[in-house]
Amino acid sequence: MTAVWKDILRNVQLIQYIAPIAVDAALLEGVLMRTKDDPNASDVVNYAPFTLLPSPVPHSLLEQAYSVQQDFNLLVDKVSQNTEFLERTLASTIKVDDFTAQLFKIYRQVLDEGITQSVFLGINRSDYMFDCGPEGTPALKQIEINTIAASFGGLASRTTAVHRHVLNVLGKSTEASKLLTNIPSKGIATGIAKAWELYGSHRAVVMFLVEEAQRNIFDQRCVENELWMRNIRVIRRRFKDVYDKGSLDNDKRLYIDGEEIAVVYYREGYVPKNYNKQNWEARLLLERSRAVKCPDIATQLAGTKKVQQELSRPGILEKLLPGKPEAVTRLRATFTGLYSLEMGEEGDKIIAMAIAEPDRFVLKPQREGGGNNLYGEELKKVLETIKDSPERTSYILMDKIKPPPALNYLLRANSPLKISECVSELGIFGVYVRQNHDLVMNEHVGHLLRTKAVEHADGGVAAGVAVLDNPYVI
């Protein structure tokens, strides 16, 4: 799939000419991140890492990824409403994984008290790679679905213009015109705006719940500014602010600094390091409120790796989506091999298989944010250590996807310019809004392509491994 830019990639003089132009275009378009040295100040910023050229993506696979996104939105929503399914699926995980157990404890408490939230907002991103199986024809295979803090919808809305400019300067205007329009930030903001409207108070505000270190603020500002353009007020607060200043009135309305909160949009809260005792108490306060949480805690649990593995079991999709055989077929076509490590004979066999052939698999803990998965010898070592312990149930095993490599240049600030063999990961953003039992919005709203050098097994843009990219449809 590298042949499309062959004439450019091997012309070192041309690459040295075009790379600074690409960087300037990224800065002009606002493809920006704060620096590691000063993550909470915009006095000095730099461009977010990106590919010099867009990466080839087969048209049929991009189309397939888009066509199944509304099915995934519906599936996540159904799972989040199915208490019995979540309890059964996560029963063994919560015994050995403290983070999932703490989320589940809050989930149970809110259920026992009675859910006051009536409007539900899902902003998901389903991530895929193109698997070259034995026949060599790439197939779309899902890696995971992100149900909390799915990022880069903002910066992805700005990278198309960068690659379009690069191709135009290179005399590839026909190719430049083929790059797809992609504005996920607008679609994400539309979902938040709909949830805000259904909440029913024009005085209430949208709260972005943000991390202590906010390197990726410009990605969030893209969505935030779309809301301001709709005359919807936005505030940014941390868990600490919620703990110190948050309160509920008698009707469970949420107030912070005297402002009523209509929508809580989580850009934080997806990994254990985001929490201390006070932050867990703040999370419980938010979940007990009638504010629209994106996601509510049930939807965060629906995005766990253990749920992903359970959904792949025969008959499960049919139970969750009765009367929707076409949706079930579309969903199942994207699944790769997923295996449970439950205690017992079946789990023992799976572990023995993985230890014997570690390069065939990926070992995944119940974590988001990139950089958590285990491969090869490391996978083998961990499984050998925990194979007789219930701790193994905090992981799932997945077939390793083998995508076709392509050559490209990965542009990073203060890094040398060198050609790399790369693989790409495609994410599709989906947004849905449900009011009580009625789904009032269910859409796909754009894509994110991330590319990394083949020597890196795991990790996204925020983790410092992958870079932003665009699909060049072939």
Positions at the binding site for Mg(2+)? 144, 146, 368
Run of H or E including 112: helix 98-113
The amino acid at residue 68 is V
Q: Which two tokens stand for residue 377?
A: 């010898």
Strand 119-132 and strand 406-411: pairing? unpaired
Does residue 368 have an active-site annotation? Answer: yes
Question: CA angle at residue 191 from 292 to 334, to 5 degrees?
Answer: 105
By residue count, the chain amounts to 474
Q: Which of 55, 151, 312, 442 is catalytic?
A: 151
Q: Which of 369, 376, 459, 464 is catalytic?
A: 369
Q: Which of 146, 185, 408, 442 is catalytic?
A: 146
Does residue 29 have an active-site annotation? Answer: no
The amino acid at residue 288 is R
Does residue 225 have an active-site annotation? Answer: no
- Give the annotated binding-site residues: 125, 144, 146, 148-151, 214-216, 220, 267-270, 305, 364-373, 375, 398-401, 425, 450, 452, 458, 461-462
Smallest Cα–Cα separation from 61: which of 442, 403, 399? 403
Does residue 88 have an active-site annotation? Answer: no
Q: How far apart are CA 382 and CA 307, in angstroms?
A: 22
Q: Could you tell me where the DSSP H helices lie in 357-442?
A: 376-386
Q: Which of 237, 288, 368, 424 is catalytic?
A: 368
User: What DSSP state is assigned to residue 202?
Assistant: T
54 to each of 9, 22, 141, 153, 409, how far by Cα in Å?
12, 12, 21, 17, 10
Does residue 168 have an active-site annotation? Answer: no
Q: Which of 290, 293, 305, 380 is catalytic?
A: 305
Orientation of helix 59-80 relative to helix 83-90, angle to 10°: 100
Q: What is the per-residue DSSP string for 15-63?
A: HHHHHHHHHHHHHHHT-EEE-SS-TT--SSEEEPPEESSPEEE-HHHHH
Q: Which of 34, 125, 158, 283 is catalytic?
A: 125
Smallest Cα–Cα separation from 86: which of 103, 68, 74? 103
Q: Which of 34, 55, 144, 287 is catalytic?
A: 144
Q: Which of 80, 246, 450, 470 is catalytic?
A: 450
Query: Contact at 8 Å (CB) between 20 and 417?
Result: no
- Give the annotated binding-site residues for substrate: 125, 148-151, 214-216, 220, 267-270, 450, 461-462
Does residue 346 have an active-site annotation? Answer: no
Does residue 377 have an active-site annotation? Answer: no
Query: Contact at 8 Å (CB) between 340 and 346?
Result: yes
- Give the annotated binding-site residues for ATP: 144, 305, 364-373, 375, 398-401, 425, 452, 458
For the annotated catalytic residues, the residue numbers are: 125, 144, 146, 151, 305, 364, 368-369, 450
